[in-house]
Amino acid sequence: MYATNVKVLEAVRNAYTTELQKSPDDPRVSMMPLMFLHSKPDHSKNKSGKTTPLHLALDKQSPLSFEIMLDLLKDKRKVCITSQLLDRLEDIIN
């Protein structure tokens, strides 16, 4: 799973940055980081029953993966705070 694979996430971040510079108005590119907040019902669930990559990185204690995902989400202020993120706010703060 890519949620805890730092090499994959770094490659995603590099490709995203490159594509965003080429096509900043393309919503397929600009909204790509939101995939980290998307639950996949067919994937294994974590202890809280959540399946988002962000949750899985937290549960598997993969701080670098979590940091990369948050870095890509940080500019999505209008859509970043979701129920999935709020569910884990205490874990993030502590």
Tell me: the pLDDT tens digits for 12-33? 999 999 999 999 888 888 888 8
How far apart, in whole angstroms, are the C-alpha atoms of residue 5 and residue 11?
10
Return the SS3 of 87: helix
Tell me: the pLDDT tens digits for 29-65? 888 888 887 776 555 554 556 678 887 888 888 889 8
Report CA-CA distances (Å) from 21 to 8, 14, 31, 54, 68: 20, 11, 14, 25, 18
